[in-house]
Structure 1
């Protein structure tokens, strides 16, 4: 007998756009800028829009069209203040979403450090689950390296580096030549334009302090 489709609960990590006002064009222009800066990361990516700080006169149809025009996929809205806003969001084709309270996760099993001896090419993605990741060579533009722990790159980092992917705020990114498209720790990220000039192309350590990314020179 052929197995039928099953409906199961799953959790996914989505980017969220937090609106601070009702200016949809401003939000659209902001998203376009981010997509242009890192198309491999943001283009056609699903996104949730948080309207909790944006007032009550939001044109949800214009909002959905603006996000789509920017090159991303609007999947839901959170933070609607009343039933009228909720209905307007539904009518525009949005799902209504609530930010889940983060439950205390079970302590993951720590695996041995994953070591990559070869260059990480454009289009490649490497994920070190429950461990640190060491790349002995370069990470090309368009490549993505992910680790639940820390990331060490002994060559040039020109792609995307995502550490602390499972919520480990103590994770760090160590790099001998920092030229990334994106760096992220525990979901907090910087695109290349946020990297201070004094650290560009040099050795650096990126960490998370008080919920903000921090960068320091790499001491050898």
Structure 2
């Protein structure tokens, strides 16, 4: 039996979203380049989405788009567009208009499908640089060390019992109630439901310490893990 030439399948990808709060192209470019220097392994040549919800209709999309492209990032789509003229410009530049999947939608889908408990994916081996572990619709437990350049992604909570030097992204489907629990925190990046800190944003007092990260009023918060 011959295989079809193509097939469409659903999938999950970890994407950074750049929220634009003004139209100062040089300021935007310099700020992106600053972030790239802070986390080159995570952001260099990365695919990104641009959120323009804070911009008004008098925006020159072409100059903004070029400012982001000059940093080496690959823009794959735009979200938060409310202005019809701006939307036409974005589509004319060859980009897709994306709709963000909100936490409320995620919780509703869980209820409608009668899911009463969250499963757990347990990894008992070290997670090496370049590896990505994704726990779909479940929590993730890693009992070993996580190297720099490795990535942990979970729709639920993340627990790391070894040394954590890579990236941890909990609540990947938008659940803001998820948390990250870590015994030895040296992470390159931590994220919950899209709110993230790079390594330089994690308080230095928690370096190498046991910590719990969660969202409080949609703001990423860290406390000692007692």
Q: Fold-level match, TM-score > 0.5?
A: yes
Contact 2:57-2:85 at 8 Å conserved across structures:
no
Q: For the residues of structure 1 that align with 2:8 and 2:211, how far apart are their CA atoms?
A: 45
Which range moved further: 191-200 or 163-172?
163-172
Contact 2:127-2:150 at 8 Å conserved across structures:
yes
Does the C-alpha gap of structure 1 residues 62 and 132 become closer, same or farther in structure 2, counting only changes over 3 Å? Answer: same
Q: Flag structure 2 segments of 5+ consecutive residues without an equivalent.
A: none
For residues 42-63 of structure 1, the C-alpha deviation after alignment (integer angstroms, 9 at most, x for no partner) is: 2333323233323444332222
Does the C-alpha gap of structure 1 residues 128 and 61 become closer, same or farther in structure 2, counting only changes over 3 Å? Answer: same
Residue 29 (structure 1) shift: 1.7
Aligned length: 219
Does the C-alpha gap of structure 1 residues 198 and 42 become closer, same or farther in structure 2, counting only changes over 3 Å? Answer: same
Which range moved further: 200-209 or 91-100?
91-100
Q: Flag structure 1 segments of 5+ consecutive residues without an equivalent.
A: none
Aligned pairs for 1:1-220 within 5 A: 3-5=4-6, 14-80=15-81, 82-99=83-100, 103=105, 104-107=108-111, 108=115, 110=117, 112-219=119-226
Structure 1 residue matching 2:41: 3-state secondary structure: helix
Contact 1:35-1:71 at 8 Å conserved across structures:
no
Residue 92 (structure 1) shift: 3.6
Contact 1:19-1:53 at 8 Å conserved across structures:
yes
Q: For the residues of structure 2 that align with 1:132 and 1:87, how far apart are their CA atoms?
A: 40
Contact 1:110-1:130 at 8 Å conserved across structures:
no
Q: CA RMSD in A?
A: 2.7
Contact 1:141-1:158 at 8 Å conserved across structures:
yes
